[in-house]
């Protein structure tokens, strides 16, 4: 079985190398925008991959600053653009659009892995060949597949240069040949994601985390955002951004990048622990893009509780539920486990003990109280939701998998009545 992974490392650039890579990043963004303009202006009957390829070659010959982008990187932009349209036509994504300078992350592809010439300099540093830049040092944190004698059945297939608030990084694309994993014999579990309690498991445990920014860091970020708004008031339309405003934006981006790194670190550690412990994991099939839509409305029909909804949207986005599910999915697959997505409706309103559904069974956001007179179960609302998810997961799991494992709900005495309502979700 071929296993594809990515490995991100920080680049150590000289001033000249930084200047060259910055030029490539700007040229790559401009190439995408030019392709987008050409595609939208060309009649549908005349759109073809060969014509777009010919236009790219001619543009690199006639425009000097576009020639700073390597030819293979320009070809990869064309392939990515065409793939974006295919994803749109098949309903997996929206239409590709214009990439603005200050809202787009700079990136340059190195499609061929054989051109990288990866070598290790010492314990802390390695070096890689970047086209039209030369040998560049990067931080060596772990061995790359295919670069050592201990990993002969692996190779680096390509790389991508990306820029964030911390500077330029390189992301290696690796491919390993591994044996098919044995079936994971761990128990099954349901997981309910939330905001006050990030993850509630049906075995009665929770996976919590602290605030991504410490109190002093959050206060500093709030002051910087107020400073940015004040500096924007003195900037006239069309006027060049001042150095002070650019510095404030860099500091704000640095704090957001720090929070994102801590989020990703917690998600990796948490999902790894869950994938090691459980063989089947059930999650809700949430449509997160619909959940975080603005409630502003229109001028004729303005929305209600707009500020509260905006705060809720920020909290949902900060938890990054979609990325958690993605990490769980590939880690379970590597260990022989399975991820089951169950329908989301009524998982938070149904009593898992008797299957009774009503609007008023949640006295508060955190407490669930069943209104059925013959039941009366009460407890944590997120835990009740995880029970319902586990029940649905058990009945959607193939029988050859479900019959050889235990389920965490079985240790809750007196709750088996909920298994009589497996499909009313």
Q: Is residue 203 part of a domain?
A: yes
Question: What pLDDT, in 10s, does the model give residues 183-205?
Answer: 888 888 888 888 888 888 888 88
- At 367 the pLDDT is 80
Do 166 and 199 lie in one domain? The reply is no
Do 347 and 399 lie in one domain? The reply is yes
pLDDT tier for residue 299 given thresholds of 50, 70 and 90? low
Do 283 and 329 lie in one domain? The reply is yes
SS3 (DSSP) at 402: helix
- At 48 the pLDDT is 86
- At 364 the pLDDT is 65
Gap between the Cα atoms of 407 and 280, Å rounded: 9
Do 88 and 189 lie in one domain? The reply is no
Contacts of 35-42 with C-beta under 8 Å, sequence gap 24+, read 35/77, 35/78, 35/81, 36/81, 36/96, 36/97, 36/98, 39/81, 39/85
Q: Is residue 225 part of a domain?
A: no
Do 308 and 204 lie in one domain? The reply is yes
Q: Is residue 167 part of a domain?
A: yes
Do 206 and 144 lie in one domain? The reply is no
Average pLDDT for 9-32: 93
> HEC string of 27-60?
HHHHHHHHHHHHHHHCCHHHCCHHHHHHHHHHHH
Do 272 and 199 lie in one domain? The reply is yes
Average pLDDT for 28-34: 93
Do 190 and 281 lie in one domain? The reply is yes
Q: Are 29 and 21 in contact (CB under 8 A)?
A: no
Q: Are 380 and 366 in contact (CB under 8 A)?
A: yes
Do 104 and 197 lie in one domain? The reply is no
Q: Is residue 230 part of a domain?
A: no
Contacts of 307 (CB under 8 A, 6+ apart): none
Q: Are 329 and 339 in contact (CB under 8 A)?
A: yes
* The token pair that represents 419 in the structure block: 């298994």
Q: Is residue 255 part of a domain?
A: no
State the total domains in the chain: 2
Domain C-terminal end among 165, 180, 195: 180
Do 72 and 19 lie in one domain? The reply is yes
Q: Which of 338, 411, 392, 2 is nearest to 184 (CA)?
A: 338
Q: Are 320 and 267 in contact (CB under 8 A)?
A: yes
pLDDT tier for residue 362 given thresholds of 50, 70 and 90? low
pLDDT at 419 over 70: no
- At 139 the pLDDT is 93
pLDDT tier for residue 168 given thresholds of 50, 70 and 90? very high
Average pLDDT for 355-359: 74
Question: For residues 103 and 63, which has the higher predicted lDDT (pLDDT)?
Answer: 63
Do 196 and 168 lie in one domain? The reply is no
- Calculate what percentage of the chain has a pLDDT beyond 70: 88
Q: Is residue 248 part of a domain?
A: no
* Structural domain span for residue 167: 1-180
pLDDT at 229 over 80: yes
Question: What pLDDT, in 10s, does the model give residues 271-280?
Answer: 999 999 888 8
- At 271 the pLDDT is 93
Domain C-terminal end among 164, 180, 196: 180
- At 409 the pLDDT is 57
The average confidence (pLDDT) of the chain is: 83
Tell whether pTM > 0.85: no
* The token pair that represents 185 in the structure block: 């014999």
Q: Is residue 232 part of a domain?
A: no
Q: Is residue 226 part of a domain?
A: no
Gap between the Cα atoms of 140 and 144, Å rounded: 9
Do 20 and 82 lie in one domain? The reply is yes
Which letter does DSSP use for residue 416 in this model? G
């Amino acid at each position: 079985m071929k296993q594809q992974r990515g490995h991100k490392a920080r680049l150590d650039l000289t001033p000249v190398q930084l200047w060259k890579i910055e030029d490539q990043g700007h040229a790559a963004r401009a190439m995408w925008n030019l392709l987008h303009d050409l595609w939208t202006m060309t009649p549908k009957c005349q759109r073809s991959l060969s014509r777009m390829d010919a236009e790219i070659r001619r543009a690199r010959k006639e425009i000097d600053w576009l020639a700073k982008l390597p030819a293979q990187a320009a070809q990869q932009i064309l392939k990515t653009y065409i793939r974006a349209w295919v994803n749109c036509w098949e309903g997996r994504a929206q239409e590709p659009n214009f990439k603005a300078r200050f809202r787009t992350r700079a990136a340059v592809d190195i499609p061929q892995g054989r051109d990288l010439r990866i070598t290790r300099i010492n314990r802390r540093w390695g070096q890689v060949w970047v086209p039209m830049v030369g040998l560049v040092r990067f931080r060596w944190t772990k061995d790359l597949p295919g670069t050592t004698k201990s990993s002969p059945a692996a190779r680096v297939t390509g790389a991508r240069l990306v820029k964030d608030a911390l500077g330029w990084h390189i992301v290696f694309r690796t491919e390993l040949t591994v044996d098919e994993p044995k079936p994971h014999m761990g128990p099954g579990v349901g997981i309910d994601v939330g905001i006050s309690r990030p993850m509630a498991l049906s075995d009665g445990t929770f996976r919590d985390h602290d605030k991504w920014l410490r109190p002093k860091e959050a206060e500093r970020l709030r002051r910087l955002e107020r400073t940015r708004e004040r500096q924007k008031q003195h900037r006239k339309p069309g006027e060049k951004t001042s150095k002070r405003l650019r510095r404030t934006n860099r500091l704000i981006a640095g704090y957001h990048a720090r929070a994102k790194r801590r989020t990703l670190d917690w998600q990796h550690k948490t999902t790894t622990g869950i994938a090691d412990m459980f063989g089947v994991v059930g999650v809700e099939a949430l449509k997160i893009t619909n959940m975080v839509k603005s409630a502003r409305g229109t001028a004729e029909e303005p929305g209600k509780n707009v500020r509260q909804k905006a705060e809720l949207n920020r909290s949902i986005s900060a938890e990054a539920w979609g990325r958690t599910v993605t990490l769980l999915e590939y880690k379970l697959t590597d260990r022989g486990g399975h991820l089951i997505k169950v329908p989301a409706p009524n998982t938070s309103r149904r009593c898992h003990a008797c299957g009774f559904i009503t609007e008023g069974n949640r006295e508060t956001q955190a407490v669930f109280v069943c209104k059925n007179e013959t039941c009366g179960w009460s407890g944590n609302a997120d835990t009740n939701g995880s029970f319902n998810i586990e029940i649905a997961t058990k009945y959607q799991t193939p029988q050859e998998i479900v019959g050889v494992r235990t389920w965490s709900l079985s240790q809750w005495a007196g709750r088996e009545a909920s298994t009589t309502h497996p499909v009313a979700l």
